[in-house]
Amino acid sequence: MSLSMANGVKSASATRLTRATYVPPCRRDNEHVASHLSDLSLSGKEKDPSSLNLNGGINFDAYEDIPVETSGSEVPPPVSSFFQLDLGSDLDTNIKRCGYKNPTPVQKHAIPVIMSGRDLMACAQTGSGKTAAFCLPIIAGILKGRNGFSEPRGPRGSGSRVATPVALIMCPTRELAGQIHDEANKFANRTRVRIAVAYGGVPIYQQLRCLERGVDILVATPGRLVDLIDRAKVSLQKVQYLTLDEADRMLDMGFEPTIRRIIEQTGMPSSPVRQTMLFSATFPSEIQRLAADFLSNYVYLTVGKVGSSTDLIKQNVIDVSNMDKRRHLIDLLRSQSMNAAHGVKPLTLVFVETKREADSLEHYLYQNGFPATSIHGDRNQWEREQALRSFKKGNTPIMVATDVASRGLDVPNVAHVINYDLPKNIDSYVHRIGRTGRAGKSGLATAFFDGTNQSMAKALAGVMAEAKQEVPEWLLQFAENSFSPYGGRNDHGSSDNGAYDAYNYGQAEGMTWGVETYAPSYETGNAQMGSYEAVSNGFGFCYGAEPVVASGWD
C-alpha cells in the first residue's frame, strides 16, 4: 500500500462508528448509483447494448494523467499515433477497421520497444489494451520479415507435419487464449499471417488440423503446448517472438516448471536471438527470476500504479449486513433500471463467493423480474458460452459470476460491477472491478461490505484512495480497527495465492526499479475450478470461426 494510501487511512477522523450505530445510507447510495449510470453517456446508437461500439467513443483524455515509467538503457521513445509506428498499410487498415483511433499509453510505449527488437517487461491497468500492445508489433514484424523471417512457418507446402511458428504467445487460460487469438486475427485480417490457438480440454485433433495448415503465431496454454510438442506436432525452433501474457498468473497456477521446460528444453532459440515480452500485473520474486533468466537487456515499462484500479471506475462501498444483501441488491437494480439513460439496461456483473450462491441469486433475480444469467465452474462449457453470449447481447443484462469471471473478461459494455460478496484479497477486487471502465470508458463498481469483510477494510480504503475515490468515513474506521494491513495479502503484500505487487515488494525488499509505481490489476489464481485449460466446444481455434471468448474464468 502506498504511503499516501496509508496516510489517508490514518488521517481519518477519530470518530468511532460501530456497526450497531451505523445506518447504511441505502437510499443515497442507490440514487448515487443510478445517477452515475445515467451519466455513462450512452449515445442513441448505444441504446442497444449489443450494438455498442465503445472503441470509437474512447475518452483518451482519461489516460493523460496515468503515470508511465520506463527503465532500462536507451529506451526507444514513445509514439503519439499509430501511423508514427510504421506498422505497414495492412495493419493500418485493420487498426482503423477495429475503430482504434489512437494508441493507449501502454501501446504508445510498448510497441516502439518491441518493434526496435528489445525485450520488454510490461505492466498496465486492466482494459488498457495490452493485447494489441504485443500483437501489433509481432504481426508487423512478421510481415516485414523482421528478425530474419519473411515467410510463414509450418507444414503448409513444406511437406512437414510439424508446425513451426515464429511467434509464441503463452497465457494461462483457454478463454484468454481464445480472446488473444480473436484479437490477433482482427489485426492480421487479409494478411498472410496465420494464427492458431491451442488449449486443453478439447479434442486435440481439431487443433492439429489447424496447425497442419501452417501457423505463424501460435497462442497456447502451457499444458496443451507441451502435449503438442511431445507429439512432435509443434516445433519451437523457429520462434523469434515469445510473449508470456499474465505471466504472474501462470506462475501462481504452478506452470513455472512447464514454462521453463518449454523455453529451455524444446530447442527454442535463446535470448537475445529470440525476442521476449513479459506482461505481468505483479512482480513477485518468481517473475523477476523469470525475467532475469529469459529476458536480456530489457525495458521495464509500467503504466499505472501497483495493484491499483483505474480512476475511470467510480467505486462505491456500501455497508450492508449479510441478511439485507438481497433486498439491497434488488433496490439497487431497481433504481438503476428506473434511472438508466434512454431505457438502456446497463450490463451489470454481480460477483458472489460460491457457485451455489451464483445459482441461487440468479434464480432470485429472475423471480424478482430481473433477467439474469450466471457463470461459474459447475456450468458446462455450452452453458457458460450461452450465458456470456446472452449477457453480451443484453438479453440477460445481469450476470451473476464467481471469481472465474474476474480476470481478463473483455465485455466492452459492462457498466456496473457489484461485489455482492467481497473477495478475500484486494488483487481480486481490483481485477473484478476491472471488468468495467475498460478502454477509456467510465464504469461503476459497488461493493457490499459486511462484518466478515473487516480484514479487507484497509486495503479497500487504500485502493479507493489511490484511485481518487471518496472513502466513506465508516470504512476508514473499519480500516483503523483492522488487523490485516493488506486485505488478504501477507506481510509482503502478497495475495493469498502468492503474487504481490512491485510497490509492496519494493518497499519490503528494497527493490529499485527506478519507479515507485506499478502494475495493473490481474487477480491471482483462482482455485475454484480445478483445471485452467478446461473444456470448450471447440469454437475458436479454426480460422473464420466466431468464438465466444472471455478470459479468466476457469
Binding region for ligand ATP (CB under 6 A): 55, 58, 100, 103-104, 107, 124, 126-132, 408, 410, 412, 434, 438-439, 520, 522
Which CB sits closer to ligand ATP, 147 or 497? 497
Which CB sits closer to ligand ATP, 94 or 348? 94
CA distances from 162 to 147, 229, 274, 313, 456 (A): 21, 9, 20, 46, 50
SS (H, E, C) 213-245: CCCCEEEECHHHHHHHHHCCCECCCCCCEEEEE
Is 212 strand, coil or helix? helix
Which CB sits closer to ligand ATP, 485 or 520? 520
Q: CA–CA separation, 222 vs 219, rounded Å?
A: 10
Q: Give the nearest distance from C-beta 104 to ligand ATP in angstroms.
A: 5
Q: Give the nearest distance from C-beta 242 to ligand ATP in angstroms.
A: 18
Determine if the peptide bond prior to 272 is cis (ω within 30°): yes
Which CB sits closer to ligand ATP, 362 or 501? 501
Q: What secondary structure letter does DSSP report for 137?
A: H
Which CB sits closer to ligand ATP, 141 or 440? 440
Q: What secondary structure letter does DSSP report for 469?
A: P
Q: Give the nearest distance from C-beta 51 to ligand ATP in angstroms.
A: 15
Which CB sits closer to ligand ATP, 312 or 333? 312
Residues 106, 52, 372: CA angle, nearest 5 degrees: 105
Which CB sits closer to ligand ATP, 174 or 458? 174
Q: Give the nearest distance from C-beta 409 to ligand ATP in angstroms.
A: 7
Q: CA–CA separation, 202 vs 382, rounded Å?
A: 13
Which CB sits closer to ligand ATP, 55 or 288? 55
Q: Could you give the count of Cα atoms lying within 13 Å of 30 in the half-sphere of its Cβ?
A: 17
Q: CA–CA separation, 134 vs 130, rounded Å?
A: 7
Which CB sits closer to ligand ATP, 162 or 188? 188
Q: Give the nearest distance from C-beta 245 to ligand ATP in angstroms.
A: 8
Q: Give the nearest distance from C-beta 102 to ligand ATP in angstroms.
A: 6
**What is the DSSP track for 81-102?**
SSGGG---HHHHHHHHHTT--S
Q: Give the nearest distance from C-beta 230 to ligand ATP in angstroms.
A: 30
Residue 253 pairs in a beta bridge with: none
CB neighbourhood size of 31 (10 A): 13
Q: Give the nearest distance from C-beta 145 to ligand ATP in angstroms.
A: 25
Which CB sits closer to ligand ATP, 184 or 398? 184
Alpha helices in 116-232 (DSSP H): 130-144, 174-187, 204-212, 222-230
Q: CA–CA separation, 487 vs 122, rounded Å?
A: 25
Q: Give the nearest distance from C-beta 127 to ligand ATP in angstroms.
A: 4
Q: Give the nearest distance from C-beta 77 to ligand ATP in angstroms.
A: 18
CA distances from 505 to 68, 72, 245, 355, 489 (A): 19, 19, 21, 33, 12
Nearest to 127 by CA among 342, 441, 549: 441
